[in-house]
């Protein structure tokens, strides 16, 4: 004959053990879900960082290609002014025909705060005049950071690849090659670190003028 008290005691122990197992299982599942959630959040963050960094590099290189192409075709203005009018460390103003019409545009690249901007000024009127009021300005690059390297470095026709740039203030008449450097950091408080891109262009229409 089975003791009813013993049966009840065994059943109570089994029920308690099952509850403990359930709690442990739920705890493990919660930990797994949290781990997966954190992993997905990390992957999303890394993808965001990589995409942002890649976009910043592509934008900077696209702007560099545009500037260098324009510099290689610098020429006197439609009024006969010298091809380069301003050659400062963070401002460059020159003339180049960028739209294949009969007139030369005045191009102004300049830093304003953390932005690199470009101003395009078409000559108008009869006789022609470059009226600053008509300048069209656009922002090309955001998140520029200040470094010891200027945006624009200038070199003479004697540049060999290792020569030092001209010391400011630079006489535009001496310039035969210009190096352009951007350092960008979208968010200094998170990776990746600052990105620096650089390129240089020879002023082909001026190289034999000295």
- Convert the pLDDT of each residue in 24-47 to its tens digit: 666 777 777 776 766 655 555 555
Q: Are 152 and 179 in contact (CB under 8 A)?
A: yes
Query: What separation, in Å, do the N-terminal and C-terminal C-alpha atoms of the chain show?
Result: 121
Q: Are 93 and 85 in contact (CB under 8 A)?
A: yes
- Convert the pLDDT of each residue in 64-108 to its tens digit: 999 999 999 999 999 999 999 999 999 999 999 998 888 999 999
Of 74, 88, 72, 68, which Cα lies nearest the Cα of 180? 68
Helix (H) or strand (E) holding 16, with range, is helix 4-72
Of 100, 160, 103, which Cα lies nearest the Cα of 127? 103
Q: Are 155 and 165 in contact (CB under 8 A)?
A: yes
> According to the model, what pLDDT value does residue 49 have?
52
**pTM of the shown model:** 0.74
Q: Are 68 and 109 in contact (CB under 8 A)?
A: no
Average pLDDT, the chain: 82
Widest CA span in the chain: 123
- Tokens standing for residue 27: 């705890």
Q: Are 83 and 76 in contact (CB under 8 A)?
A: yes
Whether the ω angle into residue 115 lies within 30 degrees of 0, i.e. cis, is no
Q: Which of 152-156, 158-162, 189-193 has the lowest mean pLDDT?
A: 189-193
> According to the model, what pLDDT value does residue 6 have?
54
């Amino acid at each position: 004959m089975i003791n009813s008290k013993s049966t009840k005691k065994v059943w109570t122990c089994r029920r308690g053990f099952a509850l403990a197992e359930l709690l442990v299982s739920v705890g493990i599942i919660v930990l797994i879900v949290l781990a997966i959630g954190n992993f997905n959040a990390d992957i999303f963050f890394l993808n965001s960082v990589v995409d942002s960094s890649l976009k910043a590099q592509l934008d900077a290189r696209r702007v560099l290609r545009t500037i260098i192409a324009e510099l290689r075709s610098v020429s006197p203005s439609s009024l006969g002014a010298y091809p380069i009018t301003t050659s400062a460390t963070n401002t460059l103003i020159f003339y180049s025909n960028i739209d294949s019409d009969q007139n030369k545009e005045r191009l102004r690249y300049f830093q304003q705060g953390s932005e690199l901007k470009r101003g395009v000024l078409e000559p108008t009127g009869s006789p022609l005049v470059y009226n600053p009021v008509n300048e069209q300005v656009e922002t090309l690059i955001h998140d520029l950071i200040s470094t010891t390297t200027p945006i624009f470095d200038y070199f003479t026709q004697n540049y060999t690849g290792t020569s030092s740039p001209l010391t400011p203030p630079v006489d535009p008449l001496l310039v035969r090659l210009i190096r352009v450097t951007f350092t960008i950091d979208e968010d200094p408080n998170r990776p990746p670190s600052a990105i620096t891109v650089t390129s240089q262009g020879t002023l082909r229409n001026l190289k034999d003028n000295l």
